[in-house]
Homo-oligomer: A and B are copies of this chain.
C-alpha cells in the first residue's frame, strides 16, 4: 500500500505522487511555519506549477477556495479545495544556500531549494536553476509604495490547505528552514502532508 501521510520534520522535505482527483492536505502542525510546494506533471517534467502564470490567470496575488493553480503552459493542475489561512506567497522563489550566504553569512544553511531537489531526485526530476514554489502559509506583505516585507505567518497550529490534483503530479514540499527571519516566526517546525 502506498504511503498516504507524511510527517515532514522541521528543516526537511518530502516528495510524493498525487494522482488526478486525489486531494492533498498540507498542515502547519505547530503554527507559523511555511511550506514551499512545487508540482511537476508526472508524465512531462517540462510542465510544472507556475506561480507567475497562476497570478496572470487569476489577476490576483491571493488565492481562494475554488481557484485553480496553473502550470507554466497555462493548464490548471491543482484546485484549492479548502484553506484555513488564506495567506500564501506566489512571488518568492525557494530559499537557497546562496540566499543564506548573502543575507546571513551562512553558506552551508539548509534550504528549500536543496530540500526540494532531494525530494524530487527519486522521481528522476533534475535540479532546476531555481524553484519557483507556491509558498504555503508564507505571509508576504506589499505596501502601496511597493515595499515588500515578510511577516509572521497567519497560520495557527493545525491550520491546513487542501489541493486537488487535476492531472497526475509529482509534488515536493519543504518545511522552510529559515529561522533567521519572521518568515517562520523565528523558529522552524514540522509540516504534515496527507492524501485525504
Question: Does A164 belong to the interface (CB within 8 Å)?
Answer: no
**Count of this chain's copies in the oligomeric assembly:** 2
| Contact residues in B for A149 (Cβ distance below 8 Å) | 59
Chain B proximity mask over A55-77: 1 for CB below 8 Å, otherwise 0: 11101111000000000111100
| Contact residues in B for A52 (Cβ distance below 8 Å) | 91-93, 130, 132
Interface, chain A (partner B; CB < 8 A) = 46-48, 50, 52-53, 55-57, 59-62, 72-75, 91-93, 96, 98-99, 101-102, 128-130, 132, 142, 144-149
Q: List 29 A-B contacts (CB under 8 A).
A: A47-B129, A48-B129, A50-B93, A50-B130, A52-B91, A52-B132, A53-B93, A53-B130, A55-B91, A55-B92, A57-B102, A59-B148, A60-B146, A60-B147, A60-B148, A61-B142, A61-B148, A62-B145, A72-B96, A72-B129, A73-B98, A74-B96, A74-B99, A74-B101, A74-B102, A75-B98, A91-B91, A128-B129, A142-B142
